[in-house]
């Protein structure tokens, strides 16, 4: 039976047809927004391997240490704006909501993405 779990990124699609294609299916995210959504899902699933692989080599940390962090419960993602600046650069503004020790927080970021070798990569972000 097909996986019918709702996607963690809040797209309204099922996981296998949305972020699961990139996280587990080996497909390349076609847009910076699709990559950002899949990275959110990777944070929910603590998929450090995917997060590091989708981070541009020029800015990629050696490790994230997600397993060492205080447990975080990711509770929602809203994509505020996606702008393709040119063929190799894009911005995605989003708000991610999460809880730590039962206390709600929000992360509002404008992320910079770069297309390199036919793939989109996360470069960095500015917190709002």
Cβ neighbours around 98 below 10 Å, total: 17
Per residue of the chain (128 residues), give pLDDT as tens: 444 799 999 999 999 999 999 999 789 999 999 999 999 999 999 999 999 999 999 999 999 988 888 889 999 999 999 999 999 999 999 999 999 999 999 999 999 999 999 999 999 999 99
Residue 4 within a domain: no
Q: Quick one: tokens of 126? A: 């500015």
Predicted model pTM: 0.94
The β-bridge relationship of strands 119-127 and 103-116 is antiparallel
Distance of alpha carbon 103 from the chain centroid: 22
- In the prediction, which pLDDT does 3 show? 47
Residue 108 within a domain: yes
Residue 112 within a domain: yes
Tokens 């962090």, residue located: 69
CATH of the domain at 58: 3.10.450.50
Residue 3 within a domain: no
Q: Tally the domains of the chain.
A: 1
Give the span between the Cα atoms of 46 and 33, in whole angstroms: 19
Residues in the chain: 128
Residue 60 within a domain: yes
Give the residue numbers spanning the domain of 22.
Answer: 15-127
Residue 34 within a domain: yes
- Phi-psi group of 102: left, alpha or beta (phi > 0 → left; psi -120 to 50 → alpha; rest → beta): left
Residue 22 within a domain: yes
Residue 7 within a domain: no
């Amino acid at each position: 039976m097909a996986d019918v779990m709702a996607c963690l990124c809040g797209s309204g699609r099922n996981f296998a047809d949305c972020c699961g294609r990139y996280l587990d299916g080996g497909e390349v995210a076609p847009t910076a927004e699709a990559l950002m959504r899949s990275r959110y899902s990777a944070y929910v699933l603590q998929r450090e391997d995917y997060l590091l692989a989708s981070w541009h080599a020029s800015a990629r940390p050696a490790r994230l240490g997600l397993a060492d962090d205080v447990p975080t419960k990711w509770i929602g993602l809203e994509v505020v704006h996606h702008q393709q600046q040119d063929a190799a650069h894009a911005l995605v503004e989003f708000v991610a909501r999460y809880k730590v020790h039962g206390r709600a927080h929000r992360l509002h970021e404008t992320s910079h993405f770069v297309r390199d070798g036919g793939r989109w990569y996360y470069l960095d972000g500015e917190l709002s």
